[in-house]
Amino acid sequence: MVYAEEIKRRRTFAIVSHPDAGKTTLTEKLLLFGGAIHVAGAVKSNKIKKTATSDWMEIEKQRGISVATSVMAFDYADHKINILDTPGHQDFAEDTFRTLTAVDSVIIVIDAAKGVEAQTRKLMEVCRMRKTPVIVFVNKLDRDGKDPFDLLDEVEEELQIKVRPLSWPIDMGQRFKGVYNIYEKKLDLYTPSKQYVTESVGFKDVNSPELEKHIDAPLAVKLREDLELIEGVYPAFDVGTYLKGDIAPVFFGSALNNFGVKELLDCFIRIAPSPRPVQALERIVDPEEENFTGFIFKIHANMDPNHRSCIAFVKICSGKFERNANYKHVRFDKIMRFSSPTAFMAQKKEVVDEAFAGDIIGLPDTGNFTIGDTLTAGENLHFKGLPSFSPEMFKYIENADPMKAKQLNKGIEQLMDEGVAQLFTNRFNGRKIIGTVGQLQFEVIQYRLLHEYGAQCKWESLSLYKACWIESDDAEALENFKKRKVQYMAWDKGGRDVYLADSSYVLTMAQQDFPAIKFHFTSEF
């Protein structure tokens, strides 16, 4: 195959974690090694005015958290690396779940002091469902944290995956001396430096008395004992088992101080999978097929505040994408051509002439795309697995400035296309309802409407339990249900029937009283 070499060079992965474990900081340092940036930004710091490359939205800079998945691509050691930095906050979990459908492997970041947290468990479930290979990076070793063996036990128990350390810390906190790189058999000594890369010392044999020249005798003794225990307790590392998603290699370091990151990256490009086959409804799509296929997994409005444009993010599943070539939009059954497809470095974009399986490209979107759409060279294919989940919080959205109704409507429409929240229109009174997974999303929507569209909105609280999409083979039963529940019926953005249940009891009774109606809790059915 012509493209086989290009595709084998690709490594597309997501970095996921609980908020504040250091995910965005790790992304910055990976970009630093790739030469994509020259000074790493701090996610939150009053002293450093430079903010993180992947947190480019104004609200992210102010809050010091990621609220949208960022895509960054760079070259490193003859490999093309595509990183997706995802939001850690649980209110944006849906964005992260969808991102995991577009990657071939995952790096999970864990805070050495806090261990495995709730959000990390949820994300691991998605990886397990999809059999995605996982590498664990234990971060913040320059602060006091849990014992490394206890951390490994916790990862095995909480994430339900076997682990194998490929590096090992020498003390931690103020006494942190570095790590021994088990994978490459060398000693990496620690020098705190936030901006520059620190050097490592080649060191093959830990039993050699030379070790004591680099670290104190008691630490050398402990390191030898720990390494012996690791060899005795954990299975030998096997790349095949890792690729099946059955074992997670573990690295230790401090992303903020640039320590342990290069070791992680060097091992990652050697063992992580190149683009893998993707399951479509009709068949399995192999990345090395000649014909282009891809799907939209994310839409982002206003990446460039000067242009009110949306960008649709496409994961290329097979073949080669070419600028100005004709491709089929499967849902519309029409041919489209794209004159300015872009590659990303977070918010910065550059036009690309070609891209290969594994790459993520952006296509300008004037309302043609929704999340989950498929593009092909002509074949009718449907990639699945990009659901919208049933929201858990609801509010009426009202216009606070009657002069800006047009801007508000455009803002709501574009932000809902991103999939961060869902819009329902109440059939009884015609009012617009926004449904989200968490409170923070309402604040982000309000902030972005004001700063990106110049529109002010007010929220009015609404007590609802769940939104369910309904359908039935019995048209009469469906009509009867809609009449009986007319005050709680709505349309979603696609015009489908949605029942807004106001309590779990009412929902259970509705399911019992109307056996002919099917209730769905994700939009994909």
Indicate whether 363 pLDDT > 50.
yes
Which pLDDT band holds residue 37 (cuts at 50, 70, 90)? Answer: very low
pLDDT, average across residues 284-301: 85
pLDDT for 9 equals: 87
Asked if pLDDT for residue 87 goes beyond 70, the answer is no
As a whole number of angstroms, the distance between CA 255 and CA 238 comes to 26
Mean pLDDT of 26-50: 53
| Class for the domain spanning 4-176+235-271 | alpha beta
Query: What confidence score (pLDDT) does residue 28 get?
Result: 78
The secondary structure of 159-176 as a DSSP string is HT-EEEESEEEES-GGG-
Higher-confidence residue: 68 or 275?
275
| Count of CB atoms situated within 10 Å of the CB of 1 | 12
| 335: β partners | 328
Tokens representing residue 462 in the block: 């609404």
Query: Which range, 185-194, 358-367, 508-517, has the best average confidence (pLDDT)?
Result: 508-517
Q: What percent of the chain has pLDDT over 70?
A: 82
pLDDT at 2: 57
User: What integer pLDDT is reported at residue 387 of this predicted model?
Assistant: 58
* Model confidence pLDDT, tens digit, residues 399-447: 888 888 888 888 888 777 766 688 899 988 889 999 887 777 788 788 8
* From 29-33, 114-118, 261-265, the region with the lowest mean pLDDT: 29-33
Are the folds of 4-176+235-271 and 393-520 the same?
no
The pLDDT value recorded for residue 288 is 87
DSSP conformation class of 78: T
Is the pLDDT at 57 greater than 70? The verdict is: no
Question: Does domain 278-376 correspond to CATH entry 3.40.50.300?
Answer: yes
pLDDT at residue 345 in the model: 55
In this predicted structure, the answer to whether residue 348 has a pLDDT above a threshold of 80 is no
Contact by Cβ (8 Å): 54, 85:
yes
Specify the pTM. 0.75
| Class (C level, CATH) for 393-520 | alpha beta
Q: Residue 306 has what pLDDT?
A: 56
Neighbours of 475 (CB within 10 A): 9
- CA 374/CA 400 separation, integer angstroms: 38
The mean-pLDDT minimum among 44-48, 313-317, 505-509 falls in: 44-48
Average pLDDT (38-65) is: 41
Q: How confident is the model at residue 52 (pLDDT cuts 50, 70, 90)?
A: very low
If residue 477 lies in a helix (H) or strand (E), which one and from where to where? helix 475-484
Output the pLDDT for position 344.
65
Find, among 419, 450, 457, the residue nearest to 87 by Cα: 419
What mean pLDDT do residues 384-390 have?
64
Does residue 515 contact residue 473 with C-beta atoms inside 8 Å? no
Which DSSP state fits 370? -
Helices 217-233 and 148-159, packing angle to 10 deg: 30
Check whether 61 has a pLDDT greater than 80.
no
User: CA angle 185-131-78, nearest 5°?
Assistant: 50
Report whether 182 contacts 266 (CB < 8 A).
Answer: no
Query: What average pLDDT score do residues 339-357 get?
Result: 74
Most confidently modeled range among 38-52, 60-74, 457-471 = 457-471
For the chain, domain boundaries = 4-176+235-271, 278-376, 393-520
H or E stretch at 138: strand 134-139
**pLDDT(54) > 60:** no
**HSE, side-chain direction, 13 A CA sphere, residue 234:** 25
Distance from C-alpha of 425 to C-alpha of 430, rounded to nearest angstrom: 6
